[in-house]
Structure 1
């Protein structure tokens, strides 16, 4: 599965969810997802840094 496929799948999934879920709930979820995404990216960053440090 290519990254571009996943991206379009995520967007389609979000569109479906957006049509079913009230806007205020969606906003809350988006904030939660944003925090989660940031945490993942930060984790990846530290993994890369620590791998370089180990070498």
Structure 2
């Protein structure tokens, strides 16, 4: 990933974990499934501050 980030001139401090916040316009259930969360409360605590829903 490091070489790709550099190639497309993004912040070189990005990691695969950084991409976990890129679920734009996706419902909570889809995010939960993608991330493997069994409880929606886990997903809400971690990600709803980003979407401000």
State the structure with more CA Rg. Answer: 1
**Highest RCO, 1 vs 2 (Cα 8 Å, sep ≥ 6):** 2
Question: What band does the TM-score fall into relative to the shorter chain?
Answer: 0.3 to 0.5
Structure 1 or 2: more helix by fraction: 1
TM (normalized to structure 1)? 0.31
- TM-score scaled by length of structure 2: 0.32
